Amino acid sequence: MRPRVSVYLGVSLDLRIARDDGRLDWLERYSDPSVGDYGYAAFMATVDTLVMGRSTFDTVLGFGAWPFAAKRVVVFTNRPLDTNPGVETVSGSLVSALESLHSRGARHVYLDGGRLVQQGLTEGVVDALTLSIVPHLLGSGRPLFTNGLPELALQLVGSQAFPTGLVQLRYQRAEAAPGTTGVER
């Protein structure tokens, strides 16, 4: 068994998750206190474990105070961490890591980081996908989807447009994924 796995990402209109150098500065102009957090806090309230890639971990460290102190955090990396704010590290198969997390109580995992999300799609473990599409064309940058990903049928379970022009699309796997716990978002 493995936990339910959800992805929650902001992407440019041309489906880029970051600039070529990893910067996310283009997202700042769409932060609007009158809109709130686009449902991020409500999503995080459903998650018990965050699994992120090393580049994402390094980026989050640059934001200042560690925002995930109340969650179990697992970082996929092959290198030692320079700073470790109470996180676990793992490498290898995402399926194996998820099975291990499930055996230790994880029921809903937030999968974060471009390459790790692509690995999750390749290994067939992504159960839900929330994309916040920002009305901004980057022209180049790190793509969310790359050639070679397996086909995956998704069902739209919700959408919302915001005054900032951001449109959020929420999808789930069209069929229940084998081996999941059935934890719902």
Of 6-15, 46-55, 73-82, 155-164, give the lowest mean pLDDT range.
73-82
Higher pLDDT, 111 or 32: 111
Q: Whole-angstrom Cα distance, residue 117 to residue 94? A: 10
Please give the average per-residue pLDDT across 77-92, as a whole number.
89
Closest CA to 56 of 34, 29, 37, 75: 75
Query: Would you say residue 185 has pLDDT above 60?
Result: no
Report the Cα 124 to chain-centroid distance in Å: 15
- The reported pLDDT for the residue numbered 184 is 45
- The reported pLDDT for the residue numbered 100 is 96
- The reported pLDDT for the residue numbered 179 is 60
Q: Whole-angstrom Cα distance, residue 38 to residue 27? A: 13
Tokens coding 165: 């022009």
Higher pLDDT, 176 or 37: 37
Which parts of the chain fold into alpha helices (H)? 40-45, 54-61, 94-103, 114-122
- The reported pLDDT for the residue numbered 129 is 97
pTM for this structure?
0.90
- The reported pLDDT for the residue numbered 57 is 93
Q: CATH class for domain 4-22+35-173? A: alpha beta
Q: Whole-angstrom Cα distance, residue 89 to residue 116? A: 14
Query: Would you say residue 106 has pLDDT above 70?
Result: yes
Q: Whole-angstrom Cα distance, residue 123 to residue 37? A: 30
| Per-residue confidence band for 181, with pLDDT thresholds at 50, 70 and 90 | low
